[in-house]
Amino acid sequence: MLQIVIPTRAYGSPPARALCIEGYEVLEVQMSDPQHYGRLIRQMWDIGNGFVLIEDDVVPWPGAIQSLLDCEHDWCAYSFPRTAAEPGGWVLGLGCVRFSHHLVRRHNLDALDGSQRWDEVDGALIGVLHTAGETCHEHTPPVAHLKAHAMLHRRAEMPT
């Protein structure tokens, strides 16, 4: 089974709690600075094994992770709603993604040198993979994004 990794600001994140209910063991890694996210992904990549990555504000629906684990594609992910700061549409990024052993072993991540802030990591990693000719297989339906949900909930409660 692939390691399920959750970079988080605090232990006991919503995706960790949801996945524990489903019986998965997860590795939560508390981020210590804005560049820690990129270093974590680089470290996982350097180990040479595939892994599932779930950001701490993304919650997969029951069965979503099993679908990723069962997938025959080397790189697959779920999209999630953009936040209010990124209006409109969906993101297919690193929120809920799986990288196979084969994909990890085919590519080095020299581009992730530890200098990228957390919000630059997806562009750097996805750029490396796209440049190498890799494509991401999109799973559906999308997963929940807590920041987007919170913004929609606040909008629903605002008086008109």
Whether the pLDDT of residue 84 is over 80: the answer is no
Domains of the chain, CATH where assigned: 3-157 (3.90.550.10)
Over pLDDT 90: what percentage of the chain? 78
The span from the CA of 131 to the CA of 151, in Å, is 34
pLDDT at 126: 96
Give mean pLDDT, residues 28-33.
97
Using one digit for the tens of pLDDT, what is the confidence trace for 87-100?
Answer: 668 889 999 999 99
pLDDT for residue 133: 97
pLDDT at residue 95, as a whole number = 96
Q: Which of 95, 98, 96, 127 is nearest to 110 (CA)?
A: 127
Alpha helices in the chain (DSSP H): 14-21, 36-47, 64-70, 101-106, 121-131, 146-157
Angle between the 121-131 and 36-47 helix axes, to the nearest 10 degrees?
Answer: 40
User: Is the pLDDT confidence value at 151 over 50?
Assistant: no
CA distance 133 to 105: 15
Q: Average of pLDDT values for 57-65?
A: 97
Please say if the pLDDT value at position 160 is more than 70: no
Coil vs helix vs strand at 159: coil
Give the pTM.
Answer: 0.89
In the predicted structure, residue 33 carries a pLDDT above the cut 50: yes
